[in-house]
Amino acid sequence: MPAPVEPPIETPASLPEAYAVLADSSAEDPVTPIAGGTDVMVRITGEIGEPPRRMVDLSRLRELRGIAVDRGAVVLGALTTYTEIRRSSVCREHLPALVEAAATIGAGQIQNRGTIGGNAANASPAGDTLPVLLALDAAFEVGSNRGQRAITADAFWVAYRRTALAPDELILRIRIPIGSGRETRFRKIGTRRAQAISKVVLALSWVDQDGPPGSGRVAPIAPTGNGPIGTWRDVRLALGSVADRPIRTRATEAVLEAASPTPEIADAAAEALAGEIHPIDDVRSTAEYRRVVAARALHRMIRDAGGW
């Protein structure tokens, strides 16, 4: 059993200092950033994954905190905690699906410590907020001594537990575009109601072409089943725990694009999804269960949206 020995850690007081600590981080000898520690603390015990060799503590980087609205987007500092997301009036108004995802993570103590930047950087295929970030077309602003750049969510998770971040780069902020009548739904299927790792997690997002010009609030299109069923545009469907990374499912999106949430479309989309994803068997679930349950969950989301 590996030694539960705490690796050396530095605690920079500013972003330039943090960049300096990270400057000699490399793939072979990485400096592991720690924020809330949700995942890193487990690695330090040596029981799961490789223990970090050396760490940089981000807790003093005020630049990475805060939630703001800026040029048609909600901007979340990388150190924004799940609790802050849950309590933020901005998030509750514009990003209810993200609020819902944040509320499913861990227990209250973990939500108080865990950060959205950490969830993204940890790159677990089961990360609960990640499909929401994909479905909302978020962009990551990242930085290092070498400067800043933006990476789209779509390009951020590149392989099992690997991101597009260079070894010396930090996530600074996450920009999530808002407005224009976008609707988003979130569903997590876990072992139990709280503190469970997902077996399947889904986020579905669309713009209702015929619906009311919107704030992006979650509201059924035709809650009573009597109203007109709109046509969906710019559909994005993202899933977690069904591949080596959180993924967009483009074939299923194509079925839903320019379509309406009718029973026929729901059947077709569910069938497309079951054919498009290739989950695996592991200690938490089986491939077959994940595939079929993901398809059923999508079907139900479309049904709820269609109000039938």
| Site residues for other proteins per CB under 8 A | 1, 3-5, 39, 42, 45, 47-48, 122, 124-127, 160-161, 189, 191-197, 241-244, 279-286, 289-290, 292-293, 296-297, 299-300
Of 5 and 27, CB closest to other proteins = 5
Question: Do the beta carbons of residue 182 and residue 112 sit within 8 Å?
Answer: no
CB of 288 to other proteins, least distance (A): 8
Helix (H, G, I), strand (E, B) or coil at 217: coil
CB of 75 to other proteins, least distance (A): 27
CB of 48 to other proteins, least distance (A): 7
Which residues have CB under 8 Å from 54's CB, separation 6+?
7, 8, 9, 10, 29, 30, 31, 32
Of 154 and 244, CB closest to other proteins = 244
CB of 207 to other proteins, least distance (A): 27
CB of 5 to other proteins, least distance (A): 5
Of 12 and 279, CB closest to other proteins = 279
Extended strands (E) in the chain: 9-10, 31-34, 54-57, 67-70, 73-77, 139-144, 147-152, 157-159, 162-163, 170-177, 182-190, 198-208, 232-240, 247-248
Amino acid at site 251: A
Of 117 and 216, CB closest to other proteins = 117
Of 75 and 273, CB closest to other proteins = 273
| Angle ∠(38,42,45) on CA atoms, nearest 5 | 150
